[in-house]
């Protein structure tokens, strides 16, 4: 299971989601509050072997999403950066160090 947080100033559409007429588009890790798209406190989850999961891995590698946990960071082959929720957005945590993904093979 993959989990992602939204980056502060970027909107990533939920892959392969087709809204009906009159519906708002869906974005990864975002929800609509009083006309504003704020970051969700819960991570967006997707199966790692699904089409959505594979597309989100590419988006994470490009820097469009934060991996929400170390396992997701390892699967995406990006360094895990601890983030914290502040004022409706996920930002880099000032108290934690960046952790590199493990290169060990079991």
Question: Among positive and negative, which fits the CA dihedral 32, 37, 38, 42?
Answer: positive
Q: Which two tokens stand for residue 75?
A: 């699967």
In the chain, where do the E strands start and end?
2-6, 30-33, 36-39, 44-46, 65-67, 83-86, 89-92
Contact 28, 12 (CB under 8 A): yes
What single DSSP character describes residue 13?
B
Token pair 């290169």: residue: 103
Buried b (16+ CB within 10 A) or exposed e, 12-39: bebbeeeeeeeeeeebbbbbeeeeebbb
What tens-digit pLDDT sequence spans the chain (106 residues)?
999 998 888 888 888 888 788 877 888 888 888 878 888 889 999 998 999 899 999 999 998 899 999 999 999 999 998 888 888 788 888 765 555 555 555 5
pLDDT digits (tens, 9 = 90+) for 24-40: 788 888 888 887 888 88
The pLDDT assigned to 38 comes to 85
């Amino acid at each position: 299971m993959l989990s992602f947080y939204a980056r502060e100033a970027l909107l990533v559409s939920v892959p392969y989601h087709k809204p009906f007429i009159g519906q708002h588009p869906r974005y990864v890790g975002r929800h609509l509050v009083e006309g504003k798209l704020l970051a969700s406190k819960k991570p967006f989850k997707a199966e790692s072997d699904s089409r959505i999961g594979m597309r989100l891995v590419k988006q994470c590698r490009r820097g469009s999403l934060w991996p929400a946990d170390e396992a997701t960071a390892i699967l995406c082959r990006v360094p895990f950066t601890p983030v914290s929720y502040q004022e409706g957005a996920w930002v880099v945590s000032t108290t934690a160090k960046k952790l590199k993904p493990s290169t060990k093979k079991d």
